[in-house]
Amino acid sequence: VQLQASGGGLVQAGGSLRLSCAASGRTLSNYAMGWFRQAPGKEREFVAAIRWSGGITLYADYADSVKGRFTISRDNAKNTVDLQMNSLKAEDTAVYYCAAGDGSAYKRGYAYWGQGTLVTVSS
């Protein structure tokens, strides 16, 4: 499966962005999906994950740093997974990656990765 992340950009602190991850090659219904991010000089870290079955979301999981501000969702018709980011902070600045895999918080659980989209939050 090929993944394409989009929607990044420059936003002021307190603002919002919506990232989208589009899949080609295979339907996302076969995978759980996650979003990770990597800030300059830091390790790639877990942001959010979503798992579903039979068209129903089973769970959505979030890193503590984004709980209450970010929402992960899936659009069956478009075969995309989105990440709505609200109340953005300067520390959210990073390259954001979507990935297809087991829906865990661990990079090793994901076999497919998108190319990343840059989010810059100005303070």
Pairing of strands 117-122, 9-12: parallel
Predicted confidence at residue 92, as pLDDT, reads 98
Per-residue pLDDT, 14:
98
pLDDT of residue 57: 86
Give, rounded to a whole angstrom, the gap between the first and last alpha carbons of the chain. Answer: 37
What is residue 83's predicted lDDT score, i.e. its pLDDT? 98
Residue 60 has a pLDDT of 96
Give the pLDDT of residue 55: 76
Digit-coded pLDDT (tens) for 54-76? 778 889 999 999 999 999 999 87
Residues of the chain with pLDDT under 50: none
CB 74 within 8 A of CB 33: yes
Gap between the Cα atoms of 38 and 88, Å rounded:
16
Q: What is the pLDDT at residue 1?
A: 86
Using DSSP, state whether 72 is helix, strand or coil. strand
User: What share of the chain has pLDDT > 70, as a percent?
Assistant: 100
Q: What is residue 53's predicted lDDT score, i.e. its pLDDT?
A: 83
